[in-house]
Amino acid sequence: MTRTLLFAASLTLAAGSLGAQANPAAAGAGATLIKNATVLTVTKGTLKNTDVLIQNGKIAQVGSNIAAPAGATVIDATGKYLMPGIIDPHTHTMSDAINEGSLSVTSMVRIQDVLNPTAINIYRALAGGVTSINILHGSANTIGGQNATVKLKWGEDVDQMMFPGAPPGIKFALGENVTRKNQSQIIIPGQPTTRRYPVSRMGQEEVVRDAFVRARDYKATLDDYKARVAKGEKNLVAPRRNLELEPLVEVLEGKRLVHAHSYRSDEMLMLLGLADEFGFKIQTLQHGLEGYKIASEIAKHGAGLSSFADSWSYKIEAYDAIPYNVAILLRHGVNATINSDSDERMRRLNIDAAKLVRYGGLTEDEALATITINGAKQLGVADKVGSIEVGKDADLGLWNNHPLSVFAAVDKTFVDGKVYFDRQQDLAMRDQKAKERADLEKAGANQAPATRRGVQPVLPQEER
Amino acid sequence: MTRIRFAAIAALTALAASSAGAQLGSFNPPPGPQKTFAITNAHIVPVSGPEIANGTVVISGGKIQAVGASVSVPSGAEVIDAKGLHVYPGMMDAGTSIGLSEIGQGANATVDISEVGSFNPNAMAYYGLNPHSAHIGVTRVVGITHVITRPTGGILSGQAALVNLAGSTAPQMAVNRSIATVIEMPRSGFGGRGFGGFFAAQGPANTQDVNRTRQRQLDSLRTMLRDAEAYGTAMDAYAKDKTLPRPKHDVVLASLVPAVRGQMPVLMVADRVTDIKEAVGFAEENKLRPIIVGGRDAWQITSFLKDHDVPVLITSVMDLPTREDDPYDVNYSAPAKLAQGGVRFAITSGDAGAEARNLPYTAGMAAAFGLSREDALKSVTLWPAQIFGIADRFGTIEVGKAANLVVTTGDVLEAKTDTKYLFIDGRLVPLDTKHTDLNDKFKDRP
């Protein structure tokens, strides 16, 4: 026991020191006053020459001429733009594994169990102004694993990165990735190519239906047991736990959000209909590239949709994707967002949002909402993040230009009021790192044996 | 037997038709005639000189006839009032394979980007180009008016073409059917292109094997280049003196003659420092005129590239850093470092086609990380034209140049900027695309 505790303590220490290296201001737990910024609140318009006070990790005050509390860090943001931290509703960042693709239904597995908090792409995303992400299971099977909603607290451990209070969710998937019509997805080196049910959109419907029929029966068993316990019956045997069906029961109870990968309008419509029949909601259609063809039906069900800005034509089911998708959906009353599904694109979601001004004529606030507040709603955390409002978490990006400009870059990114990315600090650390590297390269022990200027390697003693 | 075979063919045809079904027809409305147009009251960004706050551009016969603040409108000209709008030279994407591959995954019948085998110098992108590719329409409406589209794969991939992104046929689109030969240099070290880890696992087992394979490939390449040189000499000699034995015609070697004589540049695909240096060394040894394509790490060897006067078509501005300890903006800031180091370069989309339309934002990202906005614009207009020796015809708004112009609502590099008019080869190009068609069909569906 003591041993475990010690081990845990040393881990925390290690993470802490890493954090200190990478996020210089994280140590200052005090208040921060950002002065004289153009504040893009997203929900309450754009405020020029405005101050934002951060206290205890929250947005404490938004206004003009706010006095700095004693000991507060003051940042002069004249000429700069402050926006809410970007929220990416579809990523696979930090994941050491993405697909448990062996079965058609793998609702029992959790992405949370395979997250790597030292993945460098966390830092790169912060440098693109991203603060919260939805990490999804892959799209290899009809019902995939459970997702993780994460705050990008670079340098801290996974437990501290999990978004507090975010409702749990689960990935579903339909279409080509599930039916594996793209042969490249089923070749495993050294293994014969295998086929797994389902291989058609017909089979996909059946797999989802079958899973929810079983989940409904399981729920009835659980409910019956609970009712008898409540009635005070004695000597009852609790139903055996079913880790596959438990998350689906939560879906039926509205406690777990369904994020359903889907491309074609017909498969989306199938799933919405099936969900209506079983009495649950699809929280988001992920990708949903043909969502614009059935915008009214999606709005009627109440699903959100998270799309690419303009990626298309990389496979058959993406051939009718259009960059007007999000605009059409928004105009039909669907809560729509832009996502990256890519560690690369995640760093420039601001540019993807700007495209919506061109394609579909969104206002700047509407465009910004597709990468902030709309995503917060899709992940069930809109009371905490997604806009600059007093009382919300201080998850913010400070930009050197309007973030909808391609010429914009991030100066600082805050999560819960702490600076997790600072461009000036990053630049300053490069010289230090270069020197460190040069010193290491010069060190005798790092020279190749032939050039090792008289230093003999110290060979480890063999133990017998 | 015949019947079975027929049935099999019918089935195959049906399969091809169904998978490529979406590609049938054309999404790209043809351009109008080469009339006389006067674009008036415009904010003109000629790139060749200072911006003109309120001026006129006159085009006719496919060429720019006049540009300036006090240019008079010729009688009979179709006047386009560009009040509040900007005019830019059309952008050039010099790093794409647009038109050669429609749907890369799951629709092989739409992919004509590579030939079988390693040495295909005679494979011409021109003959793989589908003028009706939906990619062409959506790319041109952001203001990309002409491109270098190139074949990929193997070692001698084939010949790249300079094409205007308007026209119903390849002959109408092509400005130069063979503007450069493409060599994808065998790489040093492990891993192929694409799915590195996966294929590397099946590839040669150790460094020596990798290098041996590579040396063998380079030797074959050298041999072919020498053969082409000799073939050209023999053909010339025979042309002068018909009493000599008549050399046998060889379309493969014939296609390489302009490259080995230095009359045609060679696009050499290389990203890493060792590979770039190796490519330049190989080019000089074989008297080729190299243009580096890729050039991810070129910023590390700017003086080398400057000394050897080798230009770079950079394809990786938007890529993730390759190494975990690279600065986060290593690729964003590469163009600024090339500019500082005096290297000739162009920014390209680096995309096979569907996302070539991100070219302006790619240049914009370089400008967000150190490149001046003026240079960012040049890197997608004038500089690629200079690299390919076509700056007398493309890249700026100057009298006598091709009338490839885009009229926009604002800065052409900004993602939110919209296009109002597009001219390619002096023709007004409709702004309808596959995407506007679908938007029109569904946006008001109740």
Please report, for the domain that includes residue A415, its CATH number: 2.30.40.10
Q: Which of A206, A205, A195, A201 is nearest to A102 (CA)?
A: A195
Highest mean pLDDT out of A13-22, A27-36, B92-101: B92-101
Please tell me the distance from the alpha carbon of residue A19 to that of residue B368, in angstroms, as a whole number: 27
Do A77 and A95 sit in the same domain of this protein? Answer: no
- Nearest CB to A120: which of B107, B324, B442? B324
Q: Is the pLDDT of residue A106 over 50?
A: yes
B44 and B52 Cβ atoms separated by less than 8 Å = yes
pLDDT of residue B196: 36
Q: Which of B271, B272, B310 is nearest to B294 (CA)?
A: B271
Kindly list the residues from chain B whose CB atom is less than 8 angstroms away from the CB atom of residue A357: 415-416
For residue A115, give the DSSP letter: B
- Nearest CB to B102: which of A313, A354, A407? A313
pLDDT of residue A316: 94
pLDDT of residue B194: 35
Mean pLDDT along residues A170-184: 83
B107 to chain A, minimum CA–CA distance in Å?
Answer: 7
Q: A232: helix, coil or strand?
A: coil
Torsion, Cα A203 A207 A209 A215, to 10 degrees, reads 170
State whether B364 and A314 contact (CB < 8 Å): no
**What is the residue-wise DSSP string for A12-65?**
HHHHHHHHHHH-GGGG--S-EEEEEEEEE-SSS-EEEEEEEEEETTEEEEEESS
Token pair 């201001």 is found at A25
Q: How many CB pairs under 8 A join A and B?
A: 130
Could you tell me if residue A221 is inside a domain?
A: yes
Please tell me the distance from the alpha carbon of residue B197 to that of residue B410, in angstroms, as a whole number: 43
pLDDT of residue A1: 34
Kindly list the residues from chain A whose CB atom is less than 8 angstroms away from the CB atom of residue B105: 182, 184, 314-316
A352 to chain B, minimum CA–CA distance in Å?
Answer: 8
B337 to chain A, minimum CA–CA distance in Å?
Answer: 15
Average per-residue pLDDT for chain B: 91
| Residue range(s) defining the domain that contains residue A5 | 1-84+387-422
* Tokens describing residue B197: 């880890």
Which segments of chain B belong to CATH 2.30.40.10?
26-90+395-446
B240 and B155 Cβ atoms separated by less than 8 Å = no
All residues at 6 or more sequence positions from B194 whose CB lies less than 8 Å from its CB, including other chains = none
Average per-residue pLDDT for chain A: 90
A19 and A155 Cβ atoms separated by less than 8 Å = yes
Please tell me the distance from the alpha carbon of residue A234 to that of residue A237, in angstroms, as a whole number: 9
pLDDT of residue A5: 37
Q: Is the pLDDT of residue A459 over 90?
A: no
In this prediction, residue A181 has a pLDDT band, given cuts at 50, 70 and 90, of low
Say which residue, A115 or A461, is predicted with more confidence.
Answer: A115
Do A292 and A246 sit in the same domain of this protein? Answer: yes
User: What one-letter code names the amino acid at B374?
Assistant: E
Q: Is B308 left (phi over 0), alpha (psi -120 to 50) or beta?
A: alpha
pLDDT of residue A35: 98
Kindly list the residues from chain B whose CB atom is less than 8 angstroms away from the CB atom of residue A358: 415-418
In this prediction, residue A417 has a pLDDT band, given cuts at 50, 70 and 90, of very high
Q: A116: helix, coil or strand?
A: coil
State whether A408 and B201 contact (CB < 8 Å): no
Do A107 and A57 sit in the same domain of this protein? Answer: no
Report the chain A residue with the minimal C-alpha distance to residue B102. Answer: A313
Could you tell me if residue A462 is inside a domain?
A: no
Q: Is the pLDDT of residue A17 over 90?
A: no
State whether A360 and B439 contact (CB < 8 Å): yes
State whether B328 and A123 contact (CB < 8 Å): yes
Mean pLDDT along residues A152-167: 98
Please tell me the distance from the alpha carbon of residue A151 to that of residue A147, in angstroms, as a whole number: 13
Q: Is the pLDDT of residue A143 over 50?
A: yes
Q: Is the pLDDT of residue A451 over 80?
A: no
State whether B320 and A124 contact (CB < 8 Å): yes
Mean pLDDT along residues A441-463: 65
In this prediction, residue A21 has a pLDDT band, given cuts at 50, 70 and 90, of very low
Kindly list the residues from chain B whose CB atom is less than 8 angstroms away from the CB atom of residue A407: 364, 367-368, 373, 413-414
In this prediction, residue A196 has a pLDDT band, given cuts at 50, 70 and 90, of confident
State whether B328 and A127 contact (CB < 8 Å): yes
Q: Which of A58, A106, A20, A66 is nearest to A395 (CA)?
A: A58
- Which of A434-443, B214-223, B349-358 is predicted with the least confidence, judged by mean pLDDT? A434-443
- Nearest CB to A358: which of B134, B328, B416? B416
- Nearest CB to B319: which of A176, A315, A344? A344
In this prediction, residue A188 has a pLDDT band, given cuts at 50, 70 and 90, of low
Q: Is the pLDDT of residue A10 over 80?
A: no
State whether B368 and A292 contact (CB < 8 Å): no
State whether B22 and A320 contact (CB < 8 Å): yes
pLDDT of residue A444: 76
Q: A98: helix, coil or strand?
A: coil
B225 to chain A, minimum CA–CA distance in Å?
Answer: 35
Token pair 């925390």 is found at A12
Report the chain B residue with the minimal C-alpha distance to residue A324. Answer: B439
Kindly list the residues from chain A whose CB atom is less than 8 angstroms away from the CB atom of residue B91: none
- Nearest CB to B365: which of A313, A360, A406? A406
Task: Label residue A204 exposed, middle or buried (CB < 10 Å: 0-12, 13-18, 19+).
Answer: buried
Kindly list the residues from chain B whose CB atom is less than 8 angstroms away from the CB atom of residue A355: 415-416
Kindly list the residues from chain B whose CB atom is less than 8 angstroms away from the CB atom of residue A152: none
Could you tell me if residue A442 is inside a domain?
A: no
The phi and psi torsions of A240 (rounded to 5 degrees) equal -65, 140
% chain B with pLDDT above 90: 86
Do A302 and A407 sit in the same domain of this protein? Answer: no
In this prediction, residue B140 has a pLDDT band, given cuts at 50, 70 and 90, of very high
A446 to chain B, minimum CA–CA distance in Å?
Answer: 19
B45 and B71 Cβ atoms separated by less than 8 Å = no
* Tokens describing residue B429: 């190009």
pLDDT of residue B106: 84
Q: Is the pLDDT of residue A463 over 60?
A: no
For residue B322, give the DSSP letter: S
State whether B107 and A311 contact (CB < 8 Å): no
**What is the residue-wise DSSP string for A364-395?**
HHHHHHTTTHHHHHHTT-TTTSSS--TTSB--
Kindly list the residues from chain B whose CB atom is less than 8 angstroms away from the CB atom of residue A360: 439
* Tokens describing residue A350: 């601001």
pLDDT of residue B199: 42
State whether B417 and A348 contact (CB < 8 Å): no
3-state SS, one letter per residue, for A178-197: HHCCCHHHCCCCCCCCCCCC
Kindly list the residues from chain B whose CB atom is less than 8 angstroms away from the CB atom of residue A323: 435
* Tokens describing residue B414: 């900004």
State whether B328 and A426 contact (CB < 8 Å): yes
Q: Is residue A204 within a helix (H) or strand (E), and if so which, with residue range?
A: helix A201-230
**Superfamily per CATH, domain B93-389:** Metal-dependent hydrolases (3.20.20.140)
Max Cα-Cα span within chain A: 85
pLDDT in tens, B289-327: 999 999 999 999 999 999 999 999 999 999 999 999 899
Kindly list the residues from chain A whose CB atom is less than 8 angstroms away from the CB atom of residue B435: 322-324, 359
Determine the distance from the C-alpha atom of residue A222 to the mean position of all C-alpha atoms in its chain, rounded to a whole number.
32
Q: B148: helix, coil or strand?
A: strand
Task: Label residue A233 exposed, middle or buried (CB < 10 Å: 0-12, 13-18, 19+).
Answer: exposed
Do A128 and A158 sit in the same domain of this protein? Answer: yes
Task: Label residue A424 exposed, middle or buried (CB < 10 Å: 0-12, 13-18, 19+).
Answer: exposed
State whether A406 and B354 contact (CB < 8 Å): no
In this prediction, residue A193 has a pLDDT band, given cuts at 50, 70 and 90, of low
Do A188 and A221 sit in the same domain of this protein? Answer: yes
% chain B with pLDDT above 70: 90
Residues in chain B, total = 446
pLDDT of residue B102: 96
Helix axes B207-240, B251-260, angle to 10 degrees: 90
Q: Which of B439, B440, B444 best tests the A interface by mutation, with the highest count of A CBs <10 A?
A: B439
pLDDT in tens, A35-62: 999 999 999 999 999 999 999 999 999 9
Architecture of domain B26-90+395-446 in this structure: Roll (2.30)
State whether A313 and B103 contact (CB < 8 Å): yes
Mean pLDDT along residues A296-305: 98
Q: Is the pLDDT of residue B16 over 70?
A: no
Kindly list the residues from chain B whose CB atom is less than 8 angstroms away from the CB atom of residue A359: 435, 439
User: What one-letter code names the amino acid at A199?
Assistant: V
Could you tell me if residue A67 is inside a domain?
A: yes
Please tell me the distance from the alpha carbon of residue A189 to that of residue A196, in angstroms, as a whole number: 17
* Tokens describing residue A34: 């950002």
- Vertex A191, ends A190 and A195: CA angle to 5°? 155
pLDDT of residue A240: 97
Specify the CATH number for the domain of residue A351: 3.20.20.140
pLDDT in tens, A63-92: 999 999 999 999 999 999 999 999 999 999
pLDDT of residue A54: 98
Do A171 and A214 sit in the same domain of this protein? Answer: yes
Report the chain B residue with the minimal C-alpha distance to residue A345. Answer: B318
User: How many structural domains is chain A composed of?
Assistant: 2
- Nearest CB to B364: which of A310, A315, A407? A407
Say which residue, B154 or A456, is predicted with more confidence.
Answer: B154
pLDDT in tens, A314-362: 999 999 999 999 999 999 999 999 999 999 999 999 999 999 999 999 9
In this prediction, residue B14 has a pLDDT band, given cuts at 50, 70 and 90, of very low
In this prediction, residue B105 has a pLDDT band, given cuts at 50, 70 and 90, of confident
A283 to chain B, minimum CA–CA distance in Å?
Answer: 22
Do A299 and A374 sit in the same domain of this protein? Answer: yes
State whether A189 and B202 contact (CB < 8 Å): yes
- Which of A152-166, A335-349, B207-221, B349-363 is predicted with the least confidence, judged by mean pLDDT? B207-221
State whether B415 and A316 contact (CB < 8 Å): no
Q: Which of B377, B414, B431, B440 best tests the A interface by mutation, with the highest count of A CBs <10 A?
A: B414
**What is the residue-wise DSSP string for A132-193?**
EEEE---SSSSEEEE-EEEE--TTS-HHHHBPTTPPPEEEEE-SHHHHT-SGGGT--TTS--
Mean pLDDT along residues B219-241: 97
In this prediction, residue B435 has a pLDDT band, given cuts at 50, 70 and 90, of very high
Do A134 and A206 sit in the same domain of this protein? Answer: yes
Max Cα-Cα span within chain B: 80
Do A94 and A57 sit in the same domain of this protein? Answer: no
- Which of A26-40, B226-240, B331-345, B358-372 is predicted with the least confidence, judged by mean pLDDT? A26-40
Please tell me the distance from the alpha carbon of residue B371 to that of residue B314, in angstroms, as a whole number: 14
Kindly list the residues from chain A whose CB atom is less than 8 angstroms away from the CB atom of residue B354: 311-314
Kindly list the residues from chain A whose CB atom is less than 8 angstroms away from the CB atom of residue B198: 189
pLDDT of residue A102: 87
Query: Could you tell me which residues are beta bridge partners of residue A146?
Result: A110, A170
Number of Cβ within a 10 Å radius of residue A344: 16
Task: Label residue B250 exposed, middle or buried (CB < 10 Å: 0-12, 13-18, 19+).
Answer: middle
Do A377 and A396 sit in the same domain of this protein? Answer: no
Kindly list the residues from chain B whose CB atom is less than 8 angstroms away from the CB atom of residue A402: none
Helix axes A201-230, A265-278, angle to 10 degrees: 20
pLDDT in tens, B171-227: 999 999 999 999 999 876 544 443 333 444 455 567 788 888 889 999 999 999 999
**What is the residue-wise DSSP string for A323-373?**
TTHHHHHHHTT--EEE--SSTTGGGGHHHHHHHHHHSS---HHHHHHTTTH
Which segments of chain B belong to CATH 3.20.20.140?
93-389
B168 and B381 Cβ atoms separated by less than 8 Å = no
Do A284 and A340 sit in the same domain of this protein? Answer: yes
Please tell me the distance from the alpha carbon of residue A227 to that of residue B28, in angstroms, as a whole number: 65
Could you tell me if residue A66 is inside a domain?
A: yes
User: What one-letter code names the amino acid at A79?
Assistant: G
State whether B443 and A331 contact (CB < 8 Å): yes
Could you tell me if residue A452 is inside a domain?
A: no
- Vertex B101, ends B97 and B107: CA angle to 5°? 160
pLDDT of residue A11: 34
